[in-house]
């Protein structure tokens, strides 16, 4: 399988499994990835999703360049279903464990996650400009919303890679760990989030998107409405009871 999926304790893990080709995404892999993301979105047992790449060299280098010419024309390529769009549409939190190259569509895939952790061997590049085009999976909007303007411009206009320490400096990733510690670090973050009430976690994710895309006052009002929804859930009542009874809460997502 070139796209693998497993679930443990409320944490789903998608692994791009084509390490010999640096986890470049074929059209078949893209279809599998889209189907998996849709499946995850409808599964109440999955509270957090981790996405990573197989092998120690690459998270993903994006679309397999050898398949680009299989599209009859650029318009058909433009109208393909994009796996980055599907990932960003998920209501549940997404953690990217970037274990190596995150180039082209791989960078876009990482940027489509809510939290990014990187191996010290990771590197990031908007490399499409070196081949005569630019990214189309949201890289300009996502990168410019994530890192300082000059860093975004440097990456988009040169296509040159930045290493993990530079990515951390500019805020592209939250943590950098040794390669053999990456999946444990990602699992720990995911398990922590999975232990939180699912409705509140999904609401917090929605609020972050609102904060980036709405005006400030509208975003604050949206947050207030989402807070009211959360306060009316059984999980919120359970949280208050558990606090009063000095015990760990048990959240059901209701």
Please give the positions annotated as active site.
108, 128
Helix (H) or strand (E) holding 218: helix 216-231
DSSP state of 171: T
Q: Counting Cβ atoms within 10 Å, is residue 70 exposed (0-12), middle (13-18) or buried (19+)?
A: exposed
DSSP state of 247: S
Sign of CA dihedral 157, 162, 165, 167: positive
Q: Token match 């010290």: residue?
A: 120
CA separation for the pair 27, 44 (Å, rounded): 28
Tokens of 195: 């232990």
Alpha-helical runs (H) found in 18-174: 27-41, 65-68, 74-78, 83-89, 105-111, 139-144, 149-158, 164-169
Work out the widest C-alpha separation in the chain, in whole angstroms.
64
Q: Token match 């791989």: residue?
A: 106
- In the sheet where 175-177 sits, what is the strand order? 3-8, 11-16, 48-53, 94-98, 115-119, 175-177
CA separation for the pair 123, 120 (Å, rounded): 8
């Amino acid at each position: 399988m070139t796209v693998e999926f497993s679930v443990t304790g409320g944490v789903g893990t998608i692994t791009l499994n084509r390490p010999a080709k640096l986890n470049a995404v074929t059209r078949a892999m893209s279809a599998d990835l889209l189907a998996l993301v849709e499946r995850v979105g409808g599964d109440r047992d999955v509270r957090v999703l981790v996405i990573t790449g197989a092998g120690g060299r690459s998270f993903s280098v994006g679309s397999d360049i050898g398949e680009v010419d299989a599209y009859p024309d650029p318009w058909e390529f433009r109208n393909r279903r994009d796996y980055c769009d599907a990932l960003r549409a998920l209501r549940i939190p997404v953690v990217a464990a970037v274990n190596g190259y995150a180039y082209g569509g791989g960078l876009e895939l990482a940027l489509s996650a809510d939290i990014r952790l990187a191996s010290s061997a990771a590197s990031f590049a908007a490399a499409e400009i070196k081949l005569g085009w630019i990214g189309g999976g949201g890289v300009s909007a996502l990168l410019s919303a994530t890192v300082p303007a000059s860093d975004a411009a440097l990456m988009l206009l040169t296509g040159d890679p930045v290493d993990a320490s530079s990515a951390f400096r500019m805020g592209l990733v939250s943590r950098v760990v040794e390669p053999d510690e990456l999946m444990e670090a990602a699992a720990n973050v995911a398990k922590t989030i999975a232990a939180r009430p699912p409705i509140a976690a999904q609401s917090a994710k929605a609020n972050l998107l609102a904060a980036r895309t709405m005006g400030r006052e509208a975003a604050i009002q949206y947050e207030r409405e989402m807070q009211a929804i959360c306060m009316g859930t059984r999980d919120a009542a359970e949280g208050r009871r558990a606090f009063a009874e000095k015990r760990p809460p048990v959240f059901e997502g209701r």
